[in-house]
Amino acid sequence: MSAPLADDALAPLAQASPLLALFDIDGTLAPLAPRPELAEVPDATRRALADLAARPGVRVGLVTGRAAHDGARMVPAAGLWVIGNHGVETWDADGTRRVAEALVAAAAAVAREAAALASPVAAVPGALLEDKRWGLSVHTRLAPDDAVPALADAVRDVAAREGLRVHDGKRILELRPDAELDKGTAVLALAARLGALAPAGAVLFAGDDRTDEDAFRRLRAAGARAVTIRVGEADVPTEADWHVASPVEVAALIGRLVELRGPVAERAER
């Protein structure tokens, strides 16, 4: 169980170089919405992320189940990394786009599954099928509770035929290629690439859902100097060290990080 974020919990990040600060989007930067297209990251949070990314020695990234292009749309600040589709794709701060090579062929299976699920999802009022090319999401936040189990069974049956994995989230079923890729593997890969796993570096990761637990768990197992934060209810079992209650508190902690890192100096080499 995590503890409430302490006043001094972020202090070890003040001098880390580089500091890699990573944030889930839905439920972390943006309040949860009934439909994915209705979610918005508040303007103040966007500005705080841009301010943080401008600090020398700081790298800022988004880690989301959304497609990478959708994550970038929600936080259109310059100089951000974006990990999308739960680790399948990464957009570097310079615009370079990377897709796990082993999963390129999986796009065909995802397309077939999207076609197979169109009717079962449409038959459930309020359910929504989101095609993210490298994965699918079936949203059930607006669906009747008694209709969700049968829809989940249909999703699992189709996924089994196509060799895809099903992951449960907050009123959402995530369908992904059958590979050892998740937010945790992607976070560690990016942290290693940017030098944040070195003795002088550090990682901050904040997220609110079950899929974010992969990142909390892998950062701990790797022995990284990391501050991990679960967003939401305090009594939810988690691998994170700390918790905050809401995206409002996440915005506040980003502001604290900006203050810890000090004023923007002359443009540092990034």
235 classed as catalytic: no
Question: Contact, 205 vs 226, CB < 8 A?
Answer: yes
- Position 239 scores a pLDDT of 96
- Position 176 scores a pLDDT of 83
- Position 9 scores a pLDDT of 95
Going along the chain from its start, the domains and CATH numbers come out as 3-100+181-261 (3.40.50.1000), 104-177 (3.30.70.1020)
- Distance, first Cα to last Cα, the chain: 36
Which contiguous run of DSSP H or E holds residue 166? strand 164-169
DSSP letters spanning 216-239: HHHHHHTT--EEEEEES-TTS--S
Q: Where are the alpha helices (DSSP H) in the chain?
A: 43-53, 68-74, 106-122, 148-162, 183-194, 213-221, 247-261
* CA 260/CA 15 separation, integer angstroms: 8
Instruction: Give the gyration radius of the chain's Cα atoms.
Output: 18
Average pLDDT per 10 consecutive residues for the chain, totaling 270 residues: 90 96 98 92 97 96 95 94 93 91 77 93 95 89 94 93 87 86 94 96 96 96 95 94 97 96 62
Catalytic one among 7, 24, 51, 178?
Answer: 24
- Position 102 scores a pLDDT of 66
Question: Contact, 194 vs 20, CB < 8 A?
Answer: yes
Question: Contact, 228 vs 24, CB < 8 A?
Answer: no
Contacts of 219 (CB under 8 A, 6+ apart): 184, 187, 188, 191, 203, 205, 226, 228
Closest by CA to 183, choosing from 208, 200, 202, 159, is 208
Q: Which residues pair with 230 in a beta bridge?
A: 207, 243
Q: What are phi and psi of 173, to 5 degrees?
A: -115, 125
pTM of the complete model? 0.85
Task: Please tell me whether residue 268 adopts helix, strand or coil conformation.
Answer: coil
